[in-house]
Amino acid sequence: MTGAGQDRLAELERRRKLALRMGGPEGIARQHEHGKLTVRERIEELTDPGSFREFGLLAGSAAYDDGQLVDFTPKASVDGIGRLDGRKIVISGGDFTVRGGSAGGAHGALGAELAANERALQWRLPYVRLLDAVGGSVRSFEELGRTYLPDGNIWSTVDVELLNTVPVVSAVMGSVAGLPAVNACLAHWNVMVRGTAQLFPGGPPVVKAALGYDISKEELGGAQVHAGHSGVIDNLAETEKDALAQVRRFLSYLPASVDELPPQRRPRNPVGAADELRTLIPDNRRSPFDARRLLDLVLDEDSFFEIAPHYGRSRLTGLARVDGRPIGVMANNPMHLGGSTDVASGEKVMRLVQLCEVFHLPLVSFADEPGFMVGLDSEKQGIERAGARLVWTICQSRLPLITFVIGRLFGVAGQCHHRPSGMFRRYAWPSAAWGSMHITGGASAAYRREIESAADPQAKRAEIERRLQAIASPFRTAEATGQDIIDPAETRELLAEFVHDAQRVLAGQLGPPRLPYRP
């Protein structure tokens, strides 16, 4: 190689080293002092060893003196393609050591090269955001010599299209504000690190300027706000390594894109004996049962990945496997609100249905549904509109859906475990009870005059309820409608058969979803 060629290779190596230093030793030290990994350490932890190939490494801001490079600040993100368990993904990670992860000014788009989200869309690869960024910065105004119009939808349009094309995951790894905070939710699933990550459109200084009060970052947008109250964050992680492990696990249930079926893994038997299902539901329905134990007894061992466990707790939702095949799972949880569907749990269900619809997973519902949550608080939250949206979502879905009615099934919330079209199957356990509403309470409304005019209203109400209970047997419904009632111990076998049969239907549904995914 000529001397000129050697000089160019030396210059390439020099620039690579400048980019890899990120925000420099001081910025890296501050990142570690706050208990956070650098973006490059995160990518190394997430991906298969040696599999990450970066693009845009040399992009950034350079300073020259007499044509010679004297200083270089890399762009505030690290983007590339790596492998998770052998499968390729696109990764975009904010580098907080460089300008707090701000993408403003000259640190923004790569120009002629495809941005990370565009590459994920065009290459049909899952997209993972490692968010540790504050969004725009007023410093960029001074650098540009002007302000600029907020035209961020130029990029967000791609992020919206991604939701109907490939799996998208956002991991909130630090203080995230502005557009990155919205990107946390422009995903099929997200996770936040407890204690070191926060999320808000504007942080404490913005709140102080706008509303006049002081508040800490953790009080404003920490885990206790978003995982349990707002529902903005699906899952929590205790450490960054835990968060990245959860990202790996979530993606393991999904295909690379809507053009493929989800990957199959080695089948595993459930935990415990199927006979235990026969005694799981107590005779006294005022006594709750452990819905998570039900899942243990039916699903592949250790395969249930729960989504949003701290939000909408009257419904369990998540992904799992049956005979090694990925499925969506939802179950009423009588340990919270008696299992009633409130606005929050309804939101969880709708997002799960959408996820399974987009990525071709069959869905199983273990129904013990007392109905939509009643009361003043529920009315203030708009339970009727939430119920209408849930009905709409179920009716518009076409994914294979199977319901096991294990207990109660009442009212419009009960009808949301049923679909009159497509590949749908329903079985009931002998412990099931159903109707348009509960006999207790419903009798007081329907027979109000008869009860009030009786010499002993309390005795009359009890007499009416006993009369109605006598005809509430699920076997009477089976006589009239042909509804299949099964031995609970048969549940796993029937579910596995349905999941296998569903593969033929799902193969015919490959491609973009009929309805757009809504985050």
Q: With DSSP H G I counted as helix, E B as strand and the rest as coil, what are the percentages for the chain, rounded to 5?
A: 40, 20, 40
* Domain boundaries 274-432+485-507, CATH class: alpha beta
Question: Could you confirm whether domain 3-251 is CATH 3.90.226.10?
Answer: yes
Q: What is the secondary structure of 174-214 as a DSSP string? A: SEE-SHHHHHTTSSSEEEEETTT-EE-SS-HHHHHHHH---
- Give the Cα separation of 267 and 323 in Å (integer): 4
Q: What is the pTM of this model?
A: 0.91
| pLDDT 10s digits, 47-60 | 999 999 999 998 88
The whole-number pLDDT of residue 63 equals: 85
**Range 282-303 average pLDDT:** 93
- Give the Cα separation of 350 and 386 in Å (integer): 10
**Range 355-378 average pLDDT:** 96
Tell me what percent of the residues of the chain surpass a pLDDT of 70: 91
The whole-number pLDDT of residue 199 equals: 96
The whole-number pLDDT of residue 139 equals: 60
The whole-number pLDDT of residue 138 equals: 57
Split at pLDDT 50, 70, 90, the class of 112 is low
Q: Is the pLDDT of residue 3 over 80?
A: no
Token digits for 57? 């490494």
Q: Are 185 and 232 in contact (CB under 8 A)?
A: yes
- Give the Cα separation of 518 and 382 in Å (integer): 19
Could you identify the residue written with the tokens 């009798």?
Answer: 443
- CATH 3.90.226.10 residue ranges for the chain: 3-251, 274-432+485-507
Token digits for 258? 């809507």
Output b/e per residue, 356-380; b: 16+ Cβ within 10 A. Answer: bbbbbbbbbbbbbbbbbbeeeebee
- Give the Cα separation of 364 and 496 in Å (integer): 11
Q: Tell me the pLDDT of the chain averaged across its residues.
A: 90
Q: Is the pLDDT of residue 78 over 80?
A: yes
The whole-number pLDDT of residue 342 equals: 97
| pLDDT 10s digits, 496-514 | 999 999 999 999 999 999 9
Q: Is the pLDDT of residue 433 over 70?
A: yes
Q: Is the pLDDT of residue 202 over 70?
A: yes
Q: Is the pLDDT of residue 102 over 70?
A: no
Q: Which residues, including other chains, have CB under 8 Å from residue 236's CB and lie 6 or more apart?
A: 191, 192, 193, 194, 223, 227, 310
The whole-number pLDDT of residue 446 equals: 66
C-alpha distance from residue 183 to each of 19, 80, 237, 416 (Å): 25, 18, 19, 30
Could you tell me which residue, 163 or 20, shows the higher pLDDT? 163
| pLDDT 10s digits, 179-194 | 999 999 999 999 999 9
Do the bridges between strand 87-94 and strand 77-84 make them parallel or antiparallel, or are there none, so unpaired?
Answer: antiparallel
